[in-house]
Amino acid sequence: MTWLITGGAGYIGAHVVRAMTGAGERTVVYDDLSTGDAGRVPREVPLVVGSVLDGGRLARAIAAHQVTGVVHLAAKKQVGESVGRPLHYYHENVEGLRVLLEAVTAAPVTAFVFSSSAAVYGMPDVDVVTEETPCRPLSPYGETKLAGEWLVRAAGRAAGLATASLRYFNVAGAATPALADTGVSNLVPMVFHRLTEGTAPRVFGDDYPTADGTCVRDYIHVVDLAEAHVTVARALRSTPGLDLTLNVGRGEGVSVREMIDRINAVTGYDHPPTIAPRRPGDPARVVASADRIATELGWRAAHDVQDMITSAWEGWVRLHPAAARA
């Protein structure tokens, strides 16, 4: 079976390619390189440069490489940007997926894994979010992911595809420094950035109804997340018609303040945070129940927050050598 990994030159996608090839699966990367980096794609893995909005190119890539499974990660993922550019997000994430599904359902593809997000839940008023918790996305980004789940399920049912939507929680860390996230739009790299430029990391709000007043999230190592894709891909291959919706988190809530303390300890910087105003739209607490994926597929995360921060820091120092402390 050959798997087409859309977005395979991106941060998470490159980890998925690494995990799939490491597990002996044949892969082909399809990426428009708008934010991806061809250097992340292993030399032995074919790279097709193209957009998921280009149905002709997709169909040719699927036929040329005899693709029978797809892992779809190519998408826009900035929550804030999606509020200002909703049509762009719907076009790239929903129309792009629809075009991809047209090509997939016209070909002998039997399995489809969709990269969804905890953003589909919005502001859940429960301690632990299960897959049954109602989805009320708060941003166009989250809406496109929820609509994507619907598209994938409907197209899968109609065409007899086995499908899975994986709701990623807060992803951090790297398998190797070269595969680290180069973006600075999430907590860990944002704190690295502030520390290395000599400014205090910011806590966006310390008056939330949580133990220390700061927001609580469920952080997951990108290596674990990538392994979850391998587990899910294999389940789809062995069970035709399977239709899965799964949280991919660890079930452990960690506060912003705890994360910043741990980052200070790992990096050797000792810069206490300043308290900034709340960031609009931030839920106080979003923590996964990771039970369903464990019970149904036997997958569990192996890495903790310390591993995430340490590996992310190695990647940061590779890009910003002056950040290293003796």
Which residues are marked as active site? 141
When asked if residue 285 is in the footprint of ligand WQD (CB under 6 A), the reply is: no
When asked if residue 186 is in the footprint of ligand WQD (CB under 6 A), the reply is: yes
When asked if residue 40 is in the footprint of ligand WQD (CB under 6 A), the reply is: no
When asked if residue 170 is in the footprint of ligand WQD (CB under 6 A), the reply is: yes
Question: In the complex with ligand WQD, which residue's Cβ is closer, 156 or 189?
Answer: 189
Of the candidate spans 2-10, 24-32, 54-62, 185-193, the one that interacts with ligand WQD by CB under 6 A turns out to be 185-193
Both structure tokens of 19: 């995990």
Q: Which residue has the tokens 């709000």?
A: 205
Distances (CA, A) of 322 to 112, 195, 307, 308, 309: 43, 12, 22, 21, 18
Of 203, 225, 305, 312, the residue at the interface with ligand WQD (CB under 6 A) is 203
Total binding residues toward ligand WQD, as defined by CB under 6 A: 18
When asked if residue 212 is in the footprint of ligand WQD (CB under 6 A), the reply is: no
Q: Nearest to residue 39, comparing CAs of 74, 10, 78?
A: 10
Transcribe 20-82 into DSSP letters: HHHTT-EEEEEE--SS--GGGS-TTS-EEE--TT-HHHHHHHHHHTTEEEEEE--S---HHHH
Of 74, 79, 290, 312, the residue at the interface with ligand WQD (CB under 6 A) is 79
Provide the 10 A C-beta neighbour count for residue 33: 14
Burial of 209 (0-12, 13-18, 19+ CB in 10 A): exposed
Taking the C-alpha atoms of residue 123 and residue 283, their distance in angstroms, rounded to an integer, is 5
Of the candidate spans 48-56, 88-96, 103-111, 115-123, the one that interacts with ligand WQD by CB under 6 A turns out to be 115-123
Of 99, 107, 119, 179, the residue at the interface with ligand WQD (CB under 6 A) is 119
When asked if residue 308 is in the footprint of ligand WQD (CB under 6 A), the reply is: no
Q: How many CA atoms lie within 13 A of 52 on its CB side?
A: 30
When asked if residue 269 is in the footprint of ligand WQD (CB under 6 A), the reply is: no
Shortest distance, position 294 Cβ to ligand WQD, whole Å: 22
What lies within 8 Å, CB to CB, of 19 at 6+ separation is 223, 226, 227, 229, 230
Question: In the complex with ligand WQD, which residue's Cβ is closer, 16 or 109?
Answer: 16
Question: In the complex with ligand WQD, which residue's Cβ is closer, 4 or 187?
Answer: 187
Query: Which positions lie near ligand WQD, rule CB under 6 A?
Result: 77, 79, 117-119, 170, 186-187, 190-191, 202-204, 215, 217, 256, 279, 282
